[in-house]
Chain A
Amino acid sequence: MEFLRTGTKIILLTMALAIGFSCQATAAVSINGAGATFPYPVYSKWAYTYNRLTGVRLNYQSIGSGGGIKQIEAKTVDFGASDAPLKPAELDKYGLMQFPMIMGGVVPVVHLSGLASGKLKLSAANLADIYLGKITKWNDSRISADNPGLSLPATDITVVHRSDGSGTTWIFTNYLSKISPEWKNKVGNNKAVQWPVGMGGKGNEGVAAFVRMVKGSIGYVEYAYALQNKMTVTLLRNHDGNFVAPTSANFQSAAAGADWAHAKGYYMVLTNQPGASSWPITGASFILMYKTQTKPAQAREVLKFFAWSYNNGARAAMSLDYVPMPAKVVKMVEDTWRNEIHGSGGETIF
């Protein structure tokens, strides 16, 4: 009996200690965000390093851009994340502001036996006509005209697209709408569209699996995904008329050429940007925050994390095949934080 009592005491003591510790753990700052799946790997890598340096914990739920927008509107998170920027009018409606955090490119991938990666050249019009179902064979004269010396088979083209709503589709259809009036009128630009032809795979991995399986297929995936899976990518003719390859440098060139200073609310889509080496289907992933913060201390922690990520996270981003924001854009964003984000009393937070 005496022994039992001692046992109970020890258990109680341990429990008390454990509760004490966990209270301490929850007392540490944690910031919450939700949204886009595309930047999730880099956000979590930044968060891991940042947590070790500062003890601040980031909880990021990659539930999709649509979900991120809904969560920030419901004020359940400190920030939302979206692959497609919100229009200035939408931002104003909710009192939100947004800024670009990280960039990536969308690249066409093909399955043609014997074709090396980065050899097939596609003009903007041809890419649109393939996705409109107007070019149906690989040996079509319009494709071979751009590819002298490349023997293309008489195979049917199978178009593969995303079946789930996604920021990748938003960027891809935004590009097609910019370069093809017919696409703009018939199909349009959204996270999911009514595709004229083809079949849909779920996620980047679903599209990649279909493209790997079906001979003569063409799909589009995130750059990092194409690179890590060694897929056959194509060259695209950009705004300046040059055929360019999908590389980090070319994505950055698209971002650097963009006129961020005049983009109200950072509503900037990086597709079809001018610049000799700009990759035409480039996009940024955005963060959404309220302009008026009811919990200024919390908001300050969020902004400190993003500032740290901008200034110290480039290497980590590049190791995961993302493209960090150019320094001049970072400076512009930090100024915006100072000017636009305030506490409820109007005090500056960052």
Chain B
Amino acid sequence: MQDHNKTALGDKIFKGLTAFFAAGIALIFIAMIAALWQQSQPSIKAFGLSFLTSMQWNPVTQKFGALIPVVGTLVSTLIALFFAIPISIGIALFLAELAPQWLRGPFGTAIELLAAIPSIVYGMWGLFVLSPIMANYVQPWLKSWLGFIPLFAGPGMGIGMLTAGLVLTLMIIPFISSVVRDVFLMVPQPLKESAYGLGCTNWEVVRDIMIPYGRKGIAGAVFLGMGRALGETMAVTFVIGNSYHLSWSLFAPGNSIASTLANEFTEADGQLYMSSLVELGLVLFFITFIVLGLAQLWLRSKKV
């Protein structure tokens, strides 16, 4: 009897402890928004909504606007998703379905190890290895075939939006592919067997059984990758070119929110400058929040 009471008490303490941890996260989340909001007040008062639409970022005249870093953040993330989604699904299918059994373990581990590489290493690799390849081979080739589209016009210097997007692609592939692989592994075997039994090809099973079944999980994986791409800092700073100019060309240098913060925080003197950087952080917070919120809504509306 006494023993039983002891366990009940233990359970209560355990429950309280876990509740405390969970509430702690929520509290920290609210405290962070409050702190960002409070610290960005001088900038919000000075610029109002024009902060979101202004292309100025001028520490000399103390005029700040977020448009260029916001566009850069979104464009580099879109490029990354454009390449990473199909590649990751391909990798996941190979690992879950097509690869011979003995290859799956080592191959899967290798992909997951990619996720463990620190982002600064990706940045240096992007700068010293990928950028010259882009400048000498990829961009001239793209320009010669697609140069009439403004996206691929202008001088290709290797450093710029496209290269930043490609580095991000590599960085988010391990996240997306390992989650999608687990999703595919959860597709019930009988479902697949019956499809094969009906004479479906590999491709038909993938298209009509596995992808529809795992849709929600795949979307979750994509949003995980997107979250990482939106906030990535060091790797992007190295290759994006850090320039406050808006250009249609993907070859042109641009800037992202996280990269701006990393570059300018240490030497930002003056209250307005500092507060504008904090507001930029707040904007990134909201972008991530809205994107993930929309994703949740979309997932709920597609409930199987």
Q: Which residues of A contact B (CB under 8 A)?
A: 63-67, 69-70, 156, 158, 163-166, 187-195, 197-202, 206, 209-210, 213-214
Chain B contacts with A in 103-145, Cβ cutoff 8 A:
127-128, 131-132, 135
Q: When chains A and B are docked, how far (Å) is the Cα of A64 from the Cα of B262? A: 13
Q: Is the pair B159, A199 in contact by a Cβ cutoff of 8 Å?
A: yes
Q: Is the pair B269, A202 in contact by a Cβ cutoff of 8 Å?
A: no
What is the distance, in angstroms, from A262's C-beta to the closest C-beta of chain B? Answer: 27
Q: Is the pair A198, B267 in contact by a Cβ cutoff of 8 Å?
A: no
Q: Is the pair B243, A199 in contact by a Cβ cutoff of 8 Å?
A: yes
Across the A-B interface, the 7 shortest Cβ-Cβ residue pairs: A165-B267, A163-B242, A200-B242, A188-B60, A199-B241, A64-B266, A199-B253
Q: Is the pair B127, A165 in contact by a Cβ cutoff of 8 Å?
A: no
B61 within 8 A of partner (CB): yes
Q: Quick one: closest B residue to A159, CB to CB? A: B243
Q: Is the pair A213, B159 in contact by a Cβ cutoff of 8 Å?
A: yes
Q: When chains A and B are docked, how far (Å) is the Cα of A209 from the Cα of B201? A: 51
- Please judge, given known A-B contacts A66-B266, A164-B263, A202-B242, whether A209 and B60 are in contact too, CB under 8 Å: no
From B57, B61, B135, B266, contact of A213 by CB (8 A)? B135
Q: When chains A and B are docked, how far (Å) is the Cα of A239 from the Cα of B14? A: 76
Q: When chains A and B are docked, how far (Å) is the Cα of A195 from the Cα of B58? A: 9
What is the distance, in angstroms, from A327's C-beta to the closest C-beta of chain B? Answer: 32
Show 6 residue pairs from A and B whose CB-CB distance is below 8 angstroms, ordered by the A residue: A64-B266, A165-B264, A189-B60, A193-B58, A199-B159, A214-B159
Q: Is the pair A191, B267 in contact by a Cβ cutoff of 8 Å?
A: yes
Q: Is the pair B159, A165 in contact by a Cβ cutoff of 8 Å?
A: no
B155 within 8 A of partner (CB): yes
B237 within 8 A of partner (CB): yes
Q: When chains A and B are docked, how far (Å) is the Cα of A202 from the Cα of B58? A: 18
B157 within 8 A of partner (CB): yes
What is the distance, in angstroms, from B73's C-beta to the closest C-beta of chain A? Answer: 16
Q: Is the pair A195, B244 in contact by a Cβ cutoff of 8 Å?
A: yes
Q: Is the pair B237, A194 in contact by a Cβ cutoff of 8 Å?
A: no
A67 to chain B: which residues have CB within 8 Å?
266-267
A200 to chain B: which residues have CB within 8 Å?
241-243, 253, 263
Q: Quick one: closest B residue to A206, CB to CB? A: B238
Given contacts A191-B59, A202-B242, A213-B135, 12 further A-B contacts (CB under 8 A): A156-B155, A165-B266, A189-B60, A191-B267, A193-B58, A199-B243, A206-B238, A209-B127, A213-B131, A213-B132, A213-B159, A214-B158
Q: When chains A and B are docked, how far (Å) is the Cα of A197 from the Cα of B155? A: 14
Contact with A along B38-67 (1 / 0, CB 8 A): 000000000000000000111111000000
Q: When chains A and B are docked, how far (Å) is the Cα of A63 from the Cα of B56? A: 27
B268 within 8 A of partner (CB): yes
Q: Quick one: closest B residue to A65, CB to CB? A: B267
Q: When chains A and B are docked, how far (Å) is the Cα of A47 from the Cα of B68? A: 43
Q: Quick one: closest B residue to A197, CB to CB? A: B245
B135 to chain A: which residues have CB within 8 Å?
213-214
B160 to chain A: which residues have CB within 8 Å?
199
What is the distance, in angstroms, from A32's C-beta to the closest C-beta of chain B? Answer: 18
Contact with A along B239-259 (1 / 0, CB 8 A): 001111100000001000001
Q: When chains A and B are docked, how far (Å) is the Cα of A195 from the Cα of B56? A: 11
What is the distance, in angstroms, from B12's C-beta to the closest C-beta of chain A? Answer: 39
Chain B contacts with A in 189-209, Cβ cutoff 8 A:
none
Q: Is the pair A66, B269 in contact by a Cβ cutoff of 8 Å?
A: yes
Q: When chains A and B are docked, how far (Å) is the Cα of A194 from the Cα of B54? A: 13
A70 to chain B: which residues have CB within 8 Å?
269
- Please judge, given known A-B contacts A200-B263, A213-B131, whether A69 and B269 are in contact too, CB under 8 Å: yes
From A164, A195, A213, contact of B243 by CB (8 A)? A195
Most buried by A among B58, B155, B266: B266
Q: When chains A and B are docked, how far (Å) is the Cα of A189 from the Cα of B61? A: 10
A193 to chain B: which residues have CB within 8 Å?
58-60
Q: Is the pair B158, A165 in contact by a Cβ cutoff of 8 Å?
A: no
Most buried by A among B56, B157, B245, B253: B157
Q: Is the pair B59, A165 in contact by a Cβ cutoff of 8 Å?
A: yes
Contact with A along B152-188 (1 / 0, CB 8 A): 0001011110000000000000000000000000000
Q: Quick one: closest B residue to A192, CB to CB? A: B59
Q: Is the pair A201, B56 in contact by a Cβ cutoff of 8 Å?
A: no
Q: Is the pair A214, B157 in contact by a Cβ cutoff of 8 Å?
A: yes
Q: When chains A and B are docked, how far (Å) is the Cα of A140 from the Cα of B127? A: 30
From A165, A190, A194, contact of B263 by CB (8 A)? A165
Q: Quick one: closest A residue to B61, CB to CB? A: A188
Contact with A along B210-243 (1 / 0, CB 8 A): 0000000000000000000000000001100111
